[in-house]
Amino acid sequence: MKFERYGTGIVKGMALTLKHLFRAPITVQYPDEKLNISRRTRGNELVWFPEKCTGCGTCTKACLQGNIILVTHRGEESKFIVDKFELDSGRCIFCGLCVESCPYNALAMGLSYECAKYSRKDLVLSKERLAVSNDHQPSAYYRPQFDDQLPDQSLLLYDRDKGGQKLKFLPLSKRKRGSGA
């Protein structure tokens, strides 16, 4: 290949690289700084509302993995009483079809994303673990009623400051692993 002036293209590219050297970083120091995730996050650990669940089993039919185990018995007035509601989050693919199918709004996706466990047994979530609590809150995926309670997502499009934390550069001495934001 022949070029009229060899090297001009490389210099132009270098000029762009040089320009980017002086702008603020767009990444965050993850364990220390955390961005706000989407309000509709299909996060880990389903949230189950025991008082709304009628034990109809629509979610078990909607799950394409056959992953939700539901055992019920007839109580008074022949209503279903849920004995066992179990989900193996190791097999779950987080498609959200169970949440979508629930006719009584008794299921919602979770918000958490740091859910590594030491053994596979811990991944099986029981009725008590799935039930809604203070530190186990639902996301707004298919549940727009929770939309107002959740903070705005931090978007890179708006420099991630809209709703999220302002980006700041941490000096190396302050970057400690696992110290938390």
Partner 1 sequence: MPIKTEQFYLNVGPQHPSTHGVFRLRLSLDGEVVTDVEPIIGYLHRGIEKLAESRTYTQIIPLTDRLDYLASMTDNVAYCLAVEKLAGIKIPERAEYIRVIFSELMRISSHMMAVGFYLNDCGAFFTPVLYMWREREKIIDLFDMVCGQRLLYNYMRVGGVSQDVPDEFLPAIKKFVAEMPRYIGEYNQLIKQNEIFLARSKGVGILPKETAVNIGASGPVLRASGVKWDIRKMDPYSIYDRFDFEVPTGEAGDCYDRYWVRIQEMTQSLRIIEQAINQIPAKGPICSEVPQFFRPPPGETYGYIEAPKGNLGFYIVSDGSIAPYRLHIYPPTLINITALKDMMIGWKVADLIIIFGSMDVVLGEIDR
Q: Report, in Å, the least distance between residue 128 CB and partner 1.
A: 25
Q: Report, in Å, the least distance between residue 48 CB and partner 1.
A: 18
Q: Report, in Å, the least distance between residue 68 CB and partner 1.
A: 13
List strand residue ranges (DSSP E) for the chain, in order: 43-48, 68-74, 80-88, 107-110, 124-125
Tokens representing 58 are: 């629509």
In angstroms, rounded to a whole number, what is the distance separating the alpha carbons of residues 12 and 19? 11
Q: Specify whether the CB–CB gap between 154 and 167 falls below 8 A.
A: no
Catalog residues that contact partner 1 under the rule CB under 8 A.
Answer: 1, 3, 6-10, 12-13, 15-17, 26, 37-42, 58, 61-62, 64, 93-97, 100-101, 109, 139, 141-142, 147, 152-153, 155-158
Q: Which is nearer to partner 1, 87 or 109 (CB)?
A: 109
Q: Using alpha carbons, list the distances in angstroms from residue 20 to 2, 24, 109.
A: 30, 8, 39
Q: Which is nearer to partner 1, 9 or 90 (CB)?
A: 9
Q: Report, in Å, the least distance between residue 116 CB and partner 1.
A: 18
Q: Which is nearer to partner 1, 75 or 104 (CB)?
A: 104
In angstroms, rounded to a whole number, what is the distance separating the alpha carbons of residues 133 and 88? 19
Q: Which is nearer to partner 1, 42 or 127 (CB)?
A: 42
